[in-house]
Structure 1
Amino acid sequence: MIHFTLFVRTLIVGIGLIGFSPVALAAQPSTSETGQMTESPLVRECEIDKDAESCMAMAIRTFEGRETPQNNELARLFAAKACEGELMSGCSFLGAFLQDGLGGPQDVKGAAALYRRACYNDYKGACYNLGQLLYNNQSDDPEDLAEARKMFAMGCEAGIPDSCNNQAVMLKFGEGGESDLATARSLFAQACDAKRVDACANSGYMMMIGEGGPKQVEMASQHLQTACDLGSMTGCDNLGVVLLNGLAGAKDPLEAERLFTKACDGGEANACLNLGGMLYNGVTADADPSAARKRFLTGCERGSLEACGFLAKMAFDGEGGDTDRVMARQIYADLCHKFSVSESCVLLSVIIENGQGGPKDPAASMRALENGCELGDKNACLFRDHRKAN
């Protein structure tokens, strides 16, 4: 049973110190707030000499609480002074305070303006930050996505691996412009070389299935191994698929089972599906329907529709545990009507028609067939037409 995990659609979340139209600043600090800081050479150089680098150093120091109490208001003020001194890292840093509302009121538009200013003045970390802001605060204007994609491209060209990963995600899904699978694959590989975990998982997946270029399963295994080692449960799951099926050489079902177990316990629904399949079929030991059913249950709860289908079947038949046709009927109903899994509609129709797990309901049974037929299931269409004829 081969199941490839769905693509990891991940943009790195968060901004950071990578980031003058009028902006909302914190109030000026009181004398008591700054009394102990006035003796600092950095403060004097910032306040008196108007040295932007010193202002930036104080912004970082007060933000991190190094050698002075942590104070977001002061950090925001010093960042503003650095920006006023035309230090673009200060403008980007100030943008981060405005974006998150740290040390003063939140001002997302002001943050965007600061990032944009710093980006176009060659501080490329701000390009990445602006891309994050635009992508994560999507408006109805498609130009936001187009600009986000452009910003990630600029950040990637400047050597920011996370920006390359994010650009690749947008290229993969055609967000902010046309889809470009080949370039997406290349950028994921580039970001993976810099040990970006999701990029390695995505690169390995595309190489494994031959998306955006030829299949390169051996290289895919290396990238998936890196992703797994760095904590990607998706990477562990897909590496398990490679090893279980011998896609890159010899099969190693024991290692595959270990990886599926690790990934399932780590929250990867598809790994629970794969582990359940191994346990059900007795791939590495005697078949264990009870353990398989538990893994299918976990996978279903975490969003694997296939795991839900196997769980429903086992619950209906009383396999690996008690018979629970009420549960089976409900799962099939959800799969058919909520998640558009066409083959579940026929099963649901039969269960309802026979009054299993609930009352007989010919109308509901017919609705299940109608839905299955609309979803493209030929058997559902045949059964529906047969019932109508009779």
Structure 2
Amino acid sequence: MKKIIYILSILFFTASYAYNMEDFEFYTEACKRDDYVSCSHLAIIYEEDLLVKQDMKKAFNLYSKACGGDYAFACHNVAVTYSKSDNKAIKDIALKFYDKACSGGYTESCIYLGRLHRDSHTLHRDYKKAKEYFAKACDGNNRLGCKEERILEESGY
């Protein structure tokens, strides 16, 4: 339940909340005390060019810190950054972060991994593994995960 509340808070704040300098100062101090949700809010501010000049390196470092504290949303964002690389070894690191995010309850990462195992031209296709990831997303109340799992079942996998 705690993970769901964290994820919803991130979605709420990024979708409908206008950050202000008071928030920035609060998140900065809270992040220094290892409040990983605050580190993620701070990363969003740096990533989205809100209140301060955009600084992707700082955003990445903040997401990394929060991921180190097992905050799944942050792990997903670390994975997204790594997956943008052209280097295969770095892309492999991204998969580990997507898996950590999925295991931590961030269902978007589960769907990404499921699709990767189902559709990949670079990985060995593994429909059983894809179905497992979609099921994890579905178990986390992600309707798209349920739909993807159902499609695989109806296809005979």
Relative to the length of structure 1, the TM-score reads 0.34
Q: Residue 73 of structure 1 contacts residue 102 of structure 1 at CA under 8 Å; is this kept in 2?
A: no
Question: SS at the partner of 1:159?
Answer: coil
Could you say if the C-alpha distance between residues 86 and 195 of structure 1 is closer, same or farther in structure 2, counting changes exceeding 3 Å? closer
2:3 matched residue in structure 1: none
Q: Deviations over 1:102-159 (max 9, x none)?
A: 1111112221121112212332331123223444xx1322344323221121112122
Of the three residues 56, 59, 66, the one matched with 1:108 is 56
Alignment of 1:139-154 (within 5 A): 139-154=85-100
1:123 matched residue in structure 2: 71
Given the alignment of the two structures, is residue 204 of structure 1 paired with residue 121 of structure 2, yes or no?
A: no
2:117 matched residue in structure 1: 171
Measure the CA separation in 1 of the matches of 2:153 and 2:59. 38
**Which letter does structure 1 place at the counterpart of 2:43?**
G
1:89 matched residue in structure 2: 37
**Which letter does structure 2 place at the counterpart of 1:161?**
T
Shift in Å, 1:193? 3.4
Shift in Å, 1:201? 2.6
Q: Count the aligned residue pairs.
A: 148
Measure the CA separation in 2 of the matches of 1:175 and 1:123. 30
**Which letter does structure 1 place at the counterpart of 2:80?**
Q
Structure 1 residues without counterparts, runs of 5 or longer:
1-14, 19-59, 65-69, 214-390
2:4 matched residue in structure 1: none
Of the three residues 154, 165, 189, the one matched with 2:135 is 189
Max radius of gyration: which structure?
1
Question: SS at the partner of 1:86?
Answer: coil
Question: SS at the partner of 1:184?
Answer: helix
Shift in Å, 1:175? 7.4
Q: Residue 118 of structure 2 contacts residue 126 of structure 2 at CA under 8 Å; is this kept in 1?
A: yes
Could you say if the C-alpha distance between residues 170 and 77 of structure 1 is closer, same or farther in structure 2, counting changes exceeding 3 Å? farther
Measure the CA separation in 1 of the matches of 2:51 and 2:137. 33
Could you say if the C-alpha distance between residues 90 and 206 of structure 1 is closer, same or farther in structure 2, counting changes exceeding 3 Å? same
Question: SS at the partner of 2:50?
Answer: coil
Q: Deviations over 1:281-301 (max 9, x none)?
A: xxxxxxxxxxxxxxxxxxxxx
Given the alignment of the two structures, is residue 74 of structure 1 paired with residue 19 of structure 2, yes or no?
A: no
Relative to the length of structure 2, the TM-score reads 0.76
**Which letter does structure 2 place at the counterpart of 1:131?**
A
Q: Residue 191 of structure 1 contacts residue 199 of structure 1 at CA under 8 Å; is this kept in 2?
A: yes
Measure the CA separation in 1 of the matches of 2:53 and 2:42. 12
Shifted more, 146-155 versus 194-203: the winner is: 194-203
Could you say if the C-alpha distance between residues 89 and 176 of structure 1 is closer, same or farther in structure 2, counting changes exceeding 3 Å? farther
Could you say if the C-alpha distance between residues 16 and 77 of structure 1 is closer, same or farther in structure 2, counting changes exceeding 3 Å? farther
Q: Deviations over 1:174-230 (max 9, x none)?
A: 3785443211112112312333232223212211112xx3xxxxxxxxxxxxxxxxx
Cα RMSD, aligned residues only: 2.8
2:104 matched residue in structure 1: 158
Larger RCO (CA within 8 A; separation ≥ 6): 2
Shift in Å, 1:91? 1.4
Q: Percent identity?
A: 27
Could you say if the C-alpha distance between residues 72 and 180 of structure 1 is closer, same or farther in structure 2, counting changes exceeding 3 Å? farther
Alignment of 1:1-390 (within 5 A): 17=9, 64=17, 70-135=18-83, 138-174=84-120, 177-210=123-156, 213=157
Measure the CA separation in 1 of the matches of 2:44 and 2:149. 30
Measure the CA separation in 2 of the matches of 1:16 and 1:143. 32
Question: SS at the partner of 1:150?
Answer: helix
Question: SS at the partner of 1:168?
Answer: helix
Between Structure 1 and Structure 2, which shows a larger proportion of helix residues? Answer: 2
